[in-house]
Amino acid sequence: MVVAVEQLSDLFLLLHVIRETGLVNGRTRLQKTIYLLRERYHIPFRFHFKPYFYGPYSEDLADAVENLVALGLIEENRHYFDEDVIEYSYKLTKRGMDFLSTNFTTESTRKPPIGANLSRAIRELNDLLTPALVATAKSVMASSSLVN
Amino acid sequence: MPAKLRFPDPIHGTIELPEWYPIVSNQPSVRRMMFIRQLGLKAYVDFPGAIHTRFSHALGTMQLTKKLVSLLSEELKKAGQSSKAGNLSANVNTLMAAGFLHDIGHGPFSHAVDYPASKFLGRTHVEIGSEIIADEFEKLEDHGVTLSAVIDIIEGHHAHPFLHEIVDGPIDVDKLDYLLRDSHHVGLRYHFDLDQFLYEYTVLGPDDDLESCVLGLNNTLQARTTAEIFVLIWKGMYDLVYQIQDSRIAEKMLEHAILVGCNKDSKLKGMFSEENQYRKLYDDLVLDAVGKVEGFPGEAVKMIRDENLYLPLVDMELSQARYSFSRKFIESLLKFEESEVAETAVGLGRAVCKGMNLKSEQLIIDLVKSRKPKSIHLMGRSIQDQPSYLEDKSDVIAAIEPRISLKAYLHPSLLHKINELEVQKQVKREIEAWS
């Protein structure tokens, strides 16, 4: 099924980003990635973000992820990142993969205004280490609040 | 009559009233809270002791706000965090007003009317509350209360997050009060040491950047253990009280009765579609008004009053691999507002009834979310440093999984006439094709 660009929902975009990333390491990483995809690369996420300790944070996004975990489309794993530091990682389950390929085609993401932008944006953000991602998100939020 | 200075209270001993209390005490929206039971239909069905009202919870939340702000200001001043301490002291009346008014927009029977109100009035209870505050409480501005900040705090988007987290956050005073108050009145007697817990609260983050500061706990064994008990009581109360099956069925019956009733009776519809009428609704008024509408609404209210409830027939945990869903169905479950999820459940129920040649409302579908607790911040290496999270330090808390269940409730007259497996099959077909 090809979905018109204007109908691209947060659900599709979120699942697509997680699939493209493969494994998202950390809640903070997921939050900042989605924020920057929206603010810097104009990917039409509708989640509402507000400033928080670790930079922009969206309760709607956290809620959506929790619901997708409850529905078995995303898997959340908890593991030790360092001796005393826990990290949560996210990946699509087989069910999530099947759902995405049954309900959407990537054709929607290849058309303007998203075009090749999304894959390139995900690659660029994946190349950033988490502290740099957080710093970038914070600075984008600070400058957008100055503009507004 | 001389102004009241305090109220006795079963949870906090004494509620000390602020000097602005006489200004708000006679407002219709405040008086109305005395006629809305905190746990709605649960008092009729599962917990006869739960006859406490939204008003007593509002007072308790205000009292705890005052206590917490005072403890935090003192502690932060001692710790040299003068900016945080000063900000809290300067906002004490605003925060207390937010604590007192945080549920002012809730309709009767609490969440049972959230979807009808959202459908016919086009607003959530939080939005209605903000409008009531702006319309009715202007005089509070003369007493150190900033109304716009009260609204920001209740809506959870104050520029200084730690301020709204006192009233609306993972360890907010709203939860502290309702968990202790509700468990006391339902008779489950869950308890944690509130006084000791409050001493462990702090404001984390740099003192020169209040926009980054969050409400959290000291990273002590005492704080972590009490926080674990607090979260487990929260979960226990959801499982055993807030989402208990029979009361939940009664609430869904009432929700459907209001929806059908509003389409049949213009007077009833006016109560839910005109804000000036909606603001005057209280429990008994709604039950009487819906009970007078002929057909299903009147019958449903009589059944609730007689405790002749729909019967639980199907309980499907949606994470199980044997269920598949349409895109629209999942999108509707991702909505932040519970009333939007209720809308999907109502539509699904009617589609299932149609598919099985049942009359509408003979089978009611319910979507029940069991949530993970929100992350509680713990102090990092110092008060200014990045915080850590309780679930990172506690396997008990980390083990709480989110769950979404789909339940079907059947009109008792259809017992033995409708097969559970038939309903399950029809539900599966509908959620796969939901559009």
Domain B6-243 part of CATH 1.10.3210.10: yes
More confident residue, A5 or B413: B413
Contact A53 B327 (CB under 8 A): no
Note the pLDDT tens digit of each residue in B221-278: 999 999 999 999 999 999 999 999 999 999 999 999 999 999 999 999 999 999 999 9
**DSSP one-letter code for B106:** -
Q: Which residue of A has its CA nearest to B384?
A: A53
Mean model confidence pLDDT for chain B: 94
Contact B315, B243 (CB under 8 A): no
Question: What residues does each domain of chain A span?
Answer: 5-143
User: How far apart are the CA of B425 and the nearest CA of chain A, in angstroms?
Assistant: 18
User: How far apart are the CA of A53 and the nearest CA of chain B, in angstroms?
Assistant: 5
Contact A70 B318 (CB under 8 A): yes
Contact A12 B327 (CB under 8 A): yes
The encoded tokens of residue B266 equal 């213009």
Chain A residues in contact with B434 by the CB 8 A cut-off are none
pLDDT of A7 > 80? The answer is no
User: How far apart are the CA of B129 and the nearest CA of chain A, in angstroms?
Assistant: 21
At residue A8 the predicted structure's pLDDT band, cuts being 50, 70 and 90, is low
Mutate to test the interface with A, among B207, B210, B327 (most CBs of A within 10 A): B327
Contact B392 A51 (CB under 8 A): no
The encoded tokens of residue B423 equal 């309903």
Q: Residue range B193-199: average pLDDT?
A: 96
More confident residue, B380 or B71: B71
pLDDT for A147: 55
Chain A residues in contact with B371 by the CB 8 A cut-off are 66
Q: Could you give the count of Cα atoms lying within 13 Å of B137 in the half-sphere of its Cβ?
A: 30
pTM exceeding 0.80: yes
Element containing residue A76 per DSSP (H, E) = strand A74-80
Spatial separation of the C-alpha atoms in residues B41 and B26, rounded to whole Å: 26
The encoded tokens of residue B250 equal 């009664």
pLDDT for A118: 82
Contact B324 A99 (CB under 8 A): yes
Residues of B with CB under 8 A from a CB of A: 156-157, 159, 161, 204-205, 211-214, 318-321, 324-327, 330-331, 333-334, 336, 369-372, 377, 386-387, 389, 391-392, 398, 401-404
Q: Residue range B409-434: average pLDDT?
A: 94
% of chain B exceeding 70 in pLDDT:
100
In sequence order, the 6+-apart residues with CB closer than 8 A to the CB of B231 are B373, B376, B390, B397, B400
pLDDT of A110 > 70? The answer is no
Bridge partner list, B215: B203
DSSP A4-59: -GGG--HHHHHHHHHHHHSSEE-HHHHHHHHHHHHHTT--------B--TTS-B-H
In sequence order, the 6+-apart residues with CB closer than 8 A to the CB of A139 are none
Note the pLDDT tens digit of each residue in B68-110: 999 999 999 999 999 999 999 999 999 999 999 999 999 999 7
Which residue in B321, B327, B402 is closest to A95 by CB distance? B321
DSSP B123-141: --HHHHHHHHHHHH-GGGG
Mutate to test the interface with B, among A52, A67, A77 (most CBs of B within 10 A): A67
More confident residue, B237 or B327: B237
Short-list B37, B371, B327, B399, CA closest to A59: B371
Beta strand A74-80 with B403-410 is unpaired
Contact B334 A78 (CB under 8 A): no
Question: What residues does each domain of chain B span?
Answer: 6-243
At residue A2 the predicted structure's pLDDT band, cuts being 50, 70 and 90, is very low
- Residue B183 CA to its chain's centroid (Å): 15
Q: Residue range B279-299: average pLDDT?
A: 97
pLDDT of B162 > 60? The answer is yes
Which residue in B334, B401, B403 is closest to A11 by CB distance? B334
Contact B391 A59 (CB under 8 A): no
Spatial separation of the C-alpha atoms in residues A84 and B368, rounded to whole Å: 35
pLDDT for A3: 45
- Residue B129 CA to its chain's centroid (Å): 13
pLDDT for B307: 93
